[in-house]
């Protein structure tokens, strides 16, 4: 029959919108984000990498969404993708961290290993943050905004390691924990201010019932800074 002489259909094409597609812009030497992993910035680095890979439809290979080749992708295509992802990740890891890692062909295994190693260093980093908070004081050349911003950066990072305690029981443990943390941070902020300029207002704030939030105290102190014309050298929050 004439139909028996028809050529075989062409192979299915991997569309550009498919996660298994490797486009002309995907190269092994790419630096997909400007953030490089060191011993203490895993959360920041992870967020930057996740964002960059989601934009390229490739994060699913790290979180376990895509574990097997899916037609028209072949096993060789999948291995090529993992090789490329491993290359991208390695390009974003500082040498002192890279020396701690094994050699990987599977990007998900490398990603999981980095998560595991990150959890090991959480303890020392928590102690480091708390030490920096203890030593954080307003200097003669530091504006209230810069001092408060420095504290906020440290508090935000600490929150990632020590989230609010929650409980499914009837007691409102989470609310109590949040209130206690807010009170601690209010005292920390006020005690770090220059006493020569803010001692009186600090006493007024601490005498209030209930105590104001840290952000409200910052507003009051900032107003005092402007009213008294306390000039500080412009500084950038590190």
Residue 73 pLDDT: 87
**Residues 145 and 197 occupy one common structural domain:** yes
Q: Is residue 237 part of a domain?
A: no
How far are the Cα atoms of 131, 217, 222 from residue 211, in angstroms, in the given order?
25, 9, 17
Residue 169 pLDDT: 65
Q: Is residue 53 part of a domain?
A: yes
Nearest to 89 by CA among 41, 50, 40, 39: 50
Residue 124 pLDDT: 79
**Residues 139 and 208 occupy one common structural domain:** yes
**Residues 90 and 140 occupy one common structural domain:** no
What is the DSSP secondary-structure string of 121-144? THHHHHHHHHHHHHH----TT--H
Q: Is residue 4 part of a domain?
A: no
How many alpha carbons lie under 13 Å from residue 187 in its C-beta half-sphere? 7
Contacts of 76 (CB under 8 A, 6+ apart): none
Residue 105 pLDDT: 93
Q: Which of 81, 98, 120 is the last residue of a domain?
A: 120
**Residues 67 and 155 occupy one common structural domain:** no
Count: domains in the chain: 2
Residue 231 pLDDT: 60
What residue has token string 């993708």? Answer: 81
Residue 32 pLDDT: 92
Low-confidence ranges of the chain (pLDDT < 70): 1-12, 121, 167-171, 230-238
Taking the model in full, what pTM does it have? 0.56
Which structural domain, as residue segments, surrounds residue 102? 9-120
Give the C-alpha separation, 211 to 192, whole Å.
17
Nearest to 26 by CA among 101, 92, 100, 81: 81
**Residues 18 and 98 occupy one common structural domain:** yes
User: Apex CA 26: angle with CA 50 and CA 37, to 5°?
Assistant: 40
Residue 204 pLDDT: 95
- The percent of residues in the chain predicted with pLDDT above 90, rounded, is 55
How far are the Cα atoms of 61, 67, 169 from residue 13, in angstroms, in the given order?
20, 20, 54
Residue 66 pLDDT: 93
Residue 45 pLDDT: 93
Residue 7 pLDDT: 67
**Residues 108 and 137 occupy one common structural domain:** no
């Amino acid at each position: 029959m004439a139909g028996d002489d028809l050529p075989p259909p062409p192979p299915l094409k991997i569309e550009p919108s498919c996660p298994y597609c490797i486009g002309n812009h995907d190269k092994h030497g790419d630096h997909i984000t400007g953030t490089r992993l060191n011993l203490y910035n895993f959360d920041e680095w992870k967020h930057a990498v996740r964002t960059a890979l989601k934009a390229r439809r490739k994060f699913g290979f790290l979180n376990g969404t895509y574990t097997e080749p899916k037609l028209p992708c072949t096993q060789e295509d999948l291995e090529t993708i993992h090789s490329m992802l491993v290359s991208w990740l390695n390009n974003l890891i500082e040498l002192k961290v890279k020396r701690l890692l094994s050699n990987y062909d599977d990007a998900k295994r490398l990603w999981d290993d980095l998560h595991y190693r990150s959890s090991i260093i959480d303890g020392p980093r928590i102690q480091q943050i708390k030490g920096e908070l203890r030593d954080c004081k307003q200097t003669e050349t530091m504006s209230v905004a810069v001092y408060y911003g420095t504290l906020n950066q440290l508090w935000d990072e600490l929150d990632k390691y020590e989230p609010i305690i929650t409980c499914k029981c009837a007691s409102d443990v989470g609310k109590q924990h949040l209130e206690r943390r807010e009170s601690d941070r209010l005292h920390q902020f006020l005690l770090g201010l220059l006493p020569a300029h803010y001692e009186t207002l600090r006493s007024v704030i601490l005498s209030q019932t209930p105590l104001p939030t840290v952000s409200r105290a910052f507003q009051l102190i900032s107003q005092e800074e402007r009213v008294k014309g306390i000039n500080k050298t412009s500084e950038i929050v590190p």
